Structure 1
Amino acid sequence: MDVRQAVTDRIVAMLEQGGHVFRERWTRAASRGMPRNGKTGAPYRGANVLLLWDAAIEGGYASNVWLTYRQARSVGAQVRKGERGVLCAHFERMARERRDDADEVLSEGGMDEGAVTAEAGARAGVLLCRPFWLFNVAQIDGLPLEVVDLGLAAPVESTRAPVERALRLLGGCNATIRHGFDQAAYLPALDEIRLPWPRQFTSPESQCATALHELVHWTGHPDRLNRSFGRRFGDAAYAFEELVAELGSAFVMGHCGLVDATVEGHAAYIDAWLQVLRGDRTAIFMAARLAEEAFAFIVAREMPELGESTASAEDA
């Protein structure tokens, strides 16, 4: 099967539902944490995150913990008859020898197509995209308690107010943010984020969500993550960067718990995203990887509470 195309088609179908649908679904699922493997504890990456988030909301699953069929059997559990798995993609370089434990390898995430440079790809040979299927712990009977408890674990720092958590991210990144403009935007040439006055947003949560969206754009500056797509996407480069910011802001908003907030003024890009994805079956894998990089860059700079900073100094 053409796994790249199958995954792309699934995400295109999500986007076609409209921004108010996929944003709410992804952010609500993200507030429960990144999808993880129930046997290894490793988080899933890239486009697989979007697929698993959507499946979690569609199935009404409270947990973001997943297993392959073989992994479930290996811990003495059984996927219930009639349950359907979620198709995911695993990238790996062509190996000289075939491995018999492929299912175990695929279940742990693996490479992302967008992470491989042309030079590395030439040295390593063909990059293979293989399918694997995951089942949520809610679809499996007889799981050991340690796997069940992994799914019930509360997200870290979930007791903080969403607006406070967003402000800690914005403050920690120390981006230049100016208010008093007609619409939200990030200007790379000036390296500054521009926002309307706070009173012009529908809520403080939406103000924070919009600012975080622009903060994802801010991470792409040459002095930071240095994102550039002109040669690959040509005239569609701007739309692709907006897709990266859309996915990255979903990750960040979920991290903050901004599940009901709205990124204001960005609904018009959906048609452009769909055009990019329909024209390039590998684009979503690259976009998801870059969005994760931006998310990690922002979260690593989150401002600690005063008590946390004092405790760290005393420990040192």
Structure 2
Amino acid sequence: MDVRQAITDRVIAMLEKGGNVFRERWTRAASHGMPRNGKTGAPYHGANVLLLWDAAIENGYASNVWLTYKQAASMGAQVRRGERAVLCAHFERKAMRDRRDSEIDANANGESHGEGEGDASDRGNGTGSNAMLCMPFWLFNVAQIDGLATSTSDEAPEPQSWADRSPIEGAMRFIGGCQANIQHGYARAAYSPAADRILMPDVDRFTSSEAYCATALHELVHWTGNEKRLNRKFGERFGDAAYAFEELVAELGCAFVLGHIRLVDATIEGHAAYLDNWLQVLRNDRTAIFTAARHAGEAYEFILARELPLPQGTP
């Protein structure tokens, strides 16, 4: 089983539905928060977020809480007969004596939480070689499982809950906390790497406060890629498609941030369409979506780490 290719094909199928479709599906799923494990409360990352979001909307799940078959059984619950799991991926570098046996052992592991890695291919075939193993694991939504206690399923702990706070407040606390150089009065939103500056239209040019925040967060993801910060460079690998690939990173990174603060139904205004370029890259490189999702996840974590704290005394 080529796990990378299988997941890439899934993401391509999402994108082929069109920009308006996949963005709307992701934001609807994000309204229930970031996907997380129902036993540990740990969030999922990278391309797995996209897969789980899409499955939640496709099947009408109201929860973004997931478990492996083994985890459900360990909690005294049972996956209903006939339910289908979502294929996810976990990447881990290992020193192997027998590559084939190691891959078989890795593929049997269903307890992994699936980080979004995968921009390095497997390499090495001999004794003592190192390889980046792509290990599949399968997740079931809590809606597919009988016998779960509510306290251990839908209410699994989250690192941060915005249920009682305004998404606009969350967006502004991230934008303010990053202290990016943002200048207004421009015809369209953009990030200038040379000047290390975010250019934005005036606030009253946007259709809503939500649209302004979503657009600013999209540009803020671009801002994280500056050499002073995360130093993202794709030219050597993606050539002429590097600019479009950076746009894919910003698309995913912004989706993760919007999902975290549950800012849904917000339009990223003035955003150019790079869908055809993304599809071409993904069709030519089975690891590209994992690279994009990893960089998007790093940008997401970078922004979240700079969130302005609540005023002292705020409950």
Is the shorter-chain TM-score for this pair beyond 0.5, marking a shared fold?
yes
Alignment partners' CA distance in 2, 1:15 and 1:259: 19
Runs of 4+ off more than 6 Å: 99-102, 115-118
3-state secondary structure, aligned to 1:306: coil
CA contact (8 A) 1:27 1:251 kept: no
Task: Quote the offset at 1:154 in angstroms.
Answer: 10
For structure 2, list consecutive stretches of 5 or more residues without a partner in the other structure: none
1:133 corresponds to 2:138: yes
Aligned to 1:30: 30
Task: Quote the offset at 1:147 in angstroms.
Answer: 2.0
3-state secondary structure, aligned to 2:312: helix
CA contact (8 A) 1:213 1:246 kept: yes
Aligned to 1:42: 42
Following superposition of structure 1 onto structure 2, how do residues 200-215 of structure 1 map, counting pairs within 5 Å?
200-215=205-220
Q: 1:198 to 1:33 in 2, by over 3 A?
A: same
Most deviating of 85-94 and 148-157: 148-157
Task: Quote the offset at 1:170 in angstroms.
Answer: 0.8
1:233 corresponds to 2:232: no
CA contact (8 A) 2:77 2:148 kept: yes
Alignment partners' CA distance in 1, 2:264 and 2:120: 29
More helix by share: 1
Most deviating of 210-219 and 100-109: 100-109
Alignment partners' CA distance in 1, 2:129 and 2:72: 32
Task: Quote the offset at 1:294 in angstroms.
Answer: 0.5
CA displacement 1:209-266 (0-9 Å, x = unmatched): 1111000000001111111111111111101100000000001112222201001122
Alignment partners' CA distance in 1, 2:307 and 2:120: 25
CA contact (8 A) 1:89 1:131 kept: yes
Most deviating of 92-101 and 168-177: 92-101
1:56 corresponds to 2:44: no
Alignment partners' CA distance in 1, 2:305 and 2:118: 24
Task: Quote the offset at 1:305 in angstroms.
Answer: 2.4
CA contact (8 A) 2:38 2:154 kept: no
> Residue type of the partner of 2:119?
G
1:292 corresponds to 2:301: no
Q: 1:104 to 1:280 in 2, by over 3 A?
A: closer
CA displacement 1:98-147 (0-9 Å, x = unmatched): 596965564332572237999xxxx9612222322110011000124442
Alignment partners' CA distance in 1, 2:24 and 2:255: 9
CA contact (8 A) 2:200 2:216 kept: yes
Aligned to 1:177: 182
Aligned to 2:310: 305
Aligned to 1:67: 67
Alignment partners' CA distance in 2, 1:19 and 1:150: 32
3-state secondary structure, aligned to 1:264: coil
Q: 1:190 to 1:152 in 2, by over 3 A?
A: closer
3-state secondary structure, aligned to 1:183: coil
Task: Quote the offset at 1:30 in angstroms.
Answer: 2.5
Aligned to 2:13: 13
Identity %: 66
Task: Quote the offset at 1:157 in angstroms.
Answer: 2.9
Task: Quote the offset at 1:156 in angstroms.
Answer: 1.1
Aligned to 1:253: 258
For structure 1, list consecutive stretches of 5 or more residues without a partner in the other structure: 312-316
Alignment partners' CA distance in 2, 1:162 and 1:40: 26
Alignment partners' CA distance in 2, 1:217 and 1:63: 30
CA contact (8 A) 1:32 1:154 kept: no
Alignment partners' CA distance in 1, 2:159 and 2:28: 14
> Residue type of the partner of 1:195?
M
1:223 corresponds to 2:228: yes
Aligned to 1:314: none
Q: TM-score, normalised by structure 2?
A: 0.89
Alignment partners' CA distance in 2, 1:116 and 1:150: 38
Q: 1:178 to 1:116 in 2, by over 3 A?
A: farther
Q: 1:280 to 1:108 in 2, by over 3 A?
A: same
Most deviating of 262-271 and 37-46: 37-46
Q: TM-score, normalised by structure 1?
A: 0.88
Q: 1:124 to 1:263 in 2, by over 3 A?
A: farther
CA displacement 1:9-54 (0-9 Å, x = unmatched): 1111111112222112212323323222223332222111110011
